[in-house]
């Protein structure tokens, strides 16, 4: 399946030719019919003599509507460049050809149109002119077919040439990751929301779970059409209309991408390799241009990563900071424009880049490796950026699945790969991560020597890791014995709470005071005030299992608490139930302490209150 896209200057006969070839008028808007000019994309299809169907995307030639042309040209396999014989190469002929070059569409058939308007001599002249012009472009050597849509002359020859050229065109690869960049959204009575686009990267089938990015809205394909025919499966390289379940048209627009869930993430910062057109001005650092990729468009600030500018005709590295998030992936091609002219374009090399300082050492070398490096280098560099989903490695490095496996095995053999749960990362990233975690905890212990450790959540937010990654990092450090978990706290395995000599002495006095009348100890806040001990010390003693704090004001020495619990439990075993008064008599203490003890035991799920008495919970252990 193939998609052919028209290209060429306004009024050179693109739409007329599409109609002559297919019988379908691509100018579908009323305004287009009234003005006799294409404004937005038009769509048609054609059955070739060999029985194959091809789609045609007709684009506007007028310079004011270049952005619509850019939205249509994305998924095409072959350009049908239309040059009017009476006018020859014109500004948008050049601009469209430049855009085709930048977007990697190097296959074209040239229709030298309106030949009914010129003399044969003139035709020969224009033909060699066009040939000469194309020779300096990526479309060099494209076949040129003189045609007239008016008289029908040359149309058969044109179709034969299209068939021959398509026969040499490799079909769109099926990578199992369908992407449908939306170019139209509308409602069909009785069906609901329908979107159209040129499908790449994989198949779509009816009933499939889908996601729309940016935004991550989930949906399902309720029905698919290609060339107005219902199909169960749409293949990459076709024009597709999909009926999406449960989504309103106002949530969808040109530039959104329909895909399978879970891989394509919106981004606002990308690193890219760009080529500046020879006929354009230089690409200047910090300039703001429009960015076009797929059917999407947004403004972008250009950070030139080497020097202050990239000269006309030259290539270089840039970072693009997008004004709105777009669903982009590595390898996506794009075009940059001022309001009046195309400046250049290139390839997204890192779709989710960090913001770089321009002087960042090693940055350009790293990007170069990402773009062109040996598979193992590309993979190692990606993994050094952080943990990655194994299933996305191919996509992010631009390598075939088999090559990824081989490179991964070789890195693994060199001990370069670290597994974190179901994620993979490079040894270097892991070592840095490890240092960071341990350093954070070390600093925390230093600041809070009396605390058992750092609350798990605090460490997680300090590191800024997503939950799954954080869990895997902790698990790995615990497994290697450097990290320990105590309840909700994480600490360095070597960390223990130690009191200095003066503090240790005051703690001993506290425990002494508490032990003097063990079942009726003095008020804890009073003791703390007298001895100059703060909450942190008490918490540490509780952590260490030397103190049990029944409530705000009552604390017991641990051995006293254990003894009391044992005796209460024994009494309960004997009698089945006990009252506050019975427990009070057991210890010869006052009601205040007994209430504190029993409530604490309730909280510990040792006992349960039933009316005025306590009973044992089923499972009892002290
Ligand atoms: P587009 O802007 O490239 O799509 O050009 P259109 O298809 O809208 O054609 C522009 C004008 O040229 C229209 O008035 C057409 O009728 C006319 N036209 C297109 N093809 C031919 C042709 O082969 N011969 C002649 N004489 N006029 C043509
Ligand atoms: Mg037109």
DSSP string over 571-622: HHHHHS-EEHHHHHHHHT--HHHHHHHHHHHHHTTSEEEETTEEEE-SS---
> In which residue are the tokens 């034969």 written?
160
Of 16, 63, 66, 110, the residue with max ligand 1 atoms within 8 A of its CB, to mutate for a pocket test, comes to: 16
Q: Is 117 in the pocket of ligand 1 (CB under 6 A)?
A: yes
Of residues 109 and 534, the one with the higher pLDDT is: 109
Write out the residue limits of the CATH 3.40.50.300 domain(s) in the chain.
3-167
How many other C-beta atoms lie within 10 A of the C-beta of residue 564? 24
Please compute the mean of the pLDDT values over residues 310-334 and round it to a whole number: 96
113 lines ligand 1 (CB under 6 A): yes
Query: How high is the pLDDT of residue 94?
Result: 96
Query: H-helix or E-strand containing 470?
Result: helix 467-479
- Domain 179-259 carries which CATH code? 2.40.30.10
> Would the pLDDT of 374 be above 70?
yes
The C-alpha torsion from 35 through 37 and 43 to 44, rounded to 10°, is 90
**6 within ligand 1 shell (Cβ under 6 A):** no
Question: Which residues surround the ion ligand 2 when the cut-off is CB under 5 Å?
Answer: 14-15, 38
CATH fold for the domain made of 266-363: Elongation Factor Tu (Ef-tu); domain 3 (2.40.30)
Q: Please tell me if the CB atom of residue 15 comes closer than 6 angstroms to any atom of ligand 1.
A: yes
**What's the topology of domain 3-167?**
Rossmann fold (3.40.50)
Ligand 1 pocket residue status of 438, Cβ below 6 Å: no
With 70 as the cut, is the pLDDT of residue 482 above it? Answer: yes
> Is the CB of residue 124 less than 8 Å from the CB of residue 158?
no
Share of the chain above pLDDT 90, in %: 79
- Crossing angle between the packed helical segments 363-372 and 375-384, to the nearest 10 degrees: 130
Q: Is a pLDDT exceeding 90 seen at residue 263?
A: no
Over pLDDT 70: what percentage of the chain?
99
CATH of 501-616, one of 3.40.50.300, 1.10.2020.10, 1.10.10.10, 1.20.1530.20: 1.10.10.10
User: Does the C-beta of 61 come closer than 6 Å to ligand 1?
Assistant: yes
pLDDT at 378 exceeding the cut of 60: yes
Each residue's pLDDT tens digit, 233-255: 999 999 999 999 999 999 999 99
- Phi and psi dihedrals of 100, rounded to 5? -60, -45
Q: What is the pLDDT of residue 475?
A: 94
Residue with tokens 């009017």: 84
Residue identifier of the C-alpha nearest atom 27 of ligand 1: 114
Best probe residue, ligand 1, of 9, 13, 22 (max atoms within 8 Å of C-beta):
13
In the chain, CATH 2.40.30.10 sits at 179-259, 266-363
| b/e burial code for range 265-296 (CB count within 10 A of at least 16 → b) | ebbbbbbbbbbbbeebebbebebebbbbbbbb
For residue 106, the CA-to-ligand 2 centroid distance in Å is 22
What residue spans in the chain does CATH classification 1.10.10.10 cover?
501-616
The rounded Å distance from CA 278 to ligand 2 centre is 27
Predicted local confidence at residue 622, as pLDDT? 44
The answer to whether the peptide bond before residue 214 is cis (omega within 30 degrees of 0) is yes
Residues 596-615, mean pLDDT to the nearest whole number? 94
Sign (positive or negative) of CA dihedral 551, 553, 557, 560: negative
Ligand nearest to the backbone CA of 21: 1
More confident residue, 121 or 486: 121
Q: What is the pLDDT of residues 382-428, one digit of tens each?
A: 899 899 989 888 888 888 888 999 999 999 999 999 999 999 999 99
Q: Whose CA is nearest to atom 2 of ligand 1?
A: 11
Average pLDDT for the chain: 93
Ligand 2 centroid distance, CA of 309 (Å): 36
pLDDT at 552 over 60: yes
Is the pLDDT assigned to residue 301 strictly greater than 60? yes
- Minimum-distance ligand to the CA of 153? 1
Which ligand sits nearest to residue 7's alpha carbon?
A: 1
| Cβ of 9 less than 6 Å from ligand 1 | no
Does ligand 1 have an atom closer than 6 angstroms to the CB of 149?
A: yes
């Amino acid at each position: 399946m193939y998609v052919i896209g028209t290209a060429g200057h306004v009024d050179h006969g693109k739409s007329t030719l599409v109609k002559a070839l297919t019988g379908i008028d691509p100018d579908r808007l009323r305004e287009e019919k009234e003005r006799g000019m294409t404004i937005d994309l038009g769509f048609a299809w054609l059955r070739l003599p060999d029985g194959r169907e091809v789609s045609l995307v007709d684009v506007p030639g007028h310079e004011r509507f270049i952005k619509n042309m850019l939205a249509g040209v994305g998924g095409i396999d072959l350009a049908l460049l239309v040059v009017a014989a009476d006018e020859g190469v014109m500004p948008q002929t050049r601009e469209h050809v430049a855009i085709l070059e930048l977007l990697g569409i190097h296959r074209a058939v040239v229709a030298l149109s309106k030949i009914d308007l010129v003399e044969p001599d003139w035709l020969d002249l224009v033909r060699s002119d066009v040939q000469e012009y194309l020779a300096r472009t990526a479309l060099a050597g494209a076949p040129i077919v003189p045609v007239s849509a008016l008289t029908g002359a040359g149309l058969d020859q044109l179709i034969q040439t299209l068939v021959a050229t398509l026969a040499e065109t490799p079909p769109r690869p099926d990578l199992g990751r369908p992407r449908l960049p939306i170019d139209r959204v509308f409602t069909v009575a009785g069906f609901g929301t329908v979107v159209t686009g040129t499908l790449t990267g994989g198949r779509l089938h009816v009933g499939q779970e889908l996601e729309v990015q940016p935004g991550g809205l989930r949906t399902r394909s309720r029905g698919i059409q290609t060339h107005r025919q219902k199909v169960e499966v749409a293949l990459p390289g076709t024009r597709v209309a999909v009926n999406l379940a449960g989504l309103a048209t106002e949530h969808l627009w040109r530039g959104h991408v329909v895909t399978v869930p879970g891989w394509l993430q919106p981004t606002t910062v990308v690193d890219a390799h760009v080529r500046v057109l020879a006929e354009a001005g230089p690409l200047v650092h910090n300039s703001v241009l429009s960015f076009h990729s797929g059917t999407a468009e947004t403004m972008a600030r250009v950070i030139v990563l080497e020097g202050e500018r990239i000269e006309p005709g030259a290539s270089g590295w840039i970072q693009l900071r997008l004004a709105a998030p777009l669903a982009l992936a590595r390898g996506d091609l794009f075009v940059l424009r001022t309001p009046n002219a195309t400046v250049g374009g290139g390839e997204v090399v890192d779709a989710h880049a960090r913001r770089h300082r321009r002087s960042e050492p090693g940055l350009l070398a790293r990007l170069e490796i990402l773009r062109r490096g040996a598979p193992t280098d590309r993979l190692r560099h990606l993994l050094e950026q952080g943990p990655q989903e194994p299933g996305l490695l191919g996509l992010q490095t631009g390598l075939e699945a088999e090559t990824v496996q081989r490179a991964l095995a070789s890195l693994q053999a060199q001990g370069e790969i670290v597994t974190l749960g179901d994620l993979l990362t490079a040894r270097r990233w892991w070592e840095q991560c490890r240092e960071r975690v341990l350093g954070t905890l070390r600093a925390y212990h230093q600041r809070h020597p009396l605390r058992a450790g750092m609350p798990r959540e605090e460490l997680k937010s300090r590191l800024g890791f997503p939950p799954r990654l954080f869990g895997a990092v902790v698990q790995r450090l615990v497994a290697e014995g450097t990290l320990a978990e105590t309840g909700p706290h994480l600490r360095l395995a070597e960390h223990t709470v130690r009191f200095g000599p003066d503090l240790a002495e005051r703690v001993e006095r506290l425990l002494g005071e508490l032990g003097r009348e063990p079942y009726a100890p003095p008020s804890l806040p009073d003791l703390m005030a007298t001895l100059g001990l703060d909450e942190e010390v008490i918490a540490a003693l509780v952590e260490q299992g030397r103190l049990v704090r029944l409530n705000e004001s009552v604390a017991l020495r641990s051995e006293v608490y254990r003894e009391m619990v044992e005796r209460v439990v024994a009494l309960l075993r004997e009698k089945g139930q006990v009252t506050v008064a019975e427990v009070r008599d057991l210890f010869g203490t006052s009601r205040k302490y007994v209430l504190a003890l029993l409530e604490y035991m309730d909280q510990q799920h040792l006992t349960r209150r039933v009316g005025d008495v306590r009973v044992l919970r089923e499972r009892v252990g002290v």
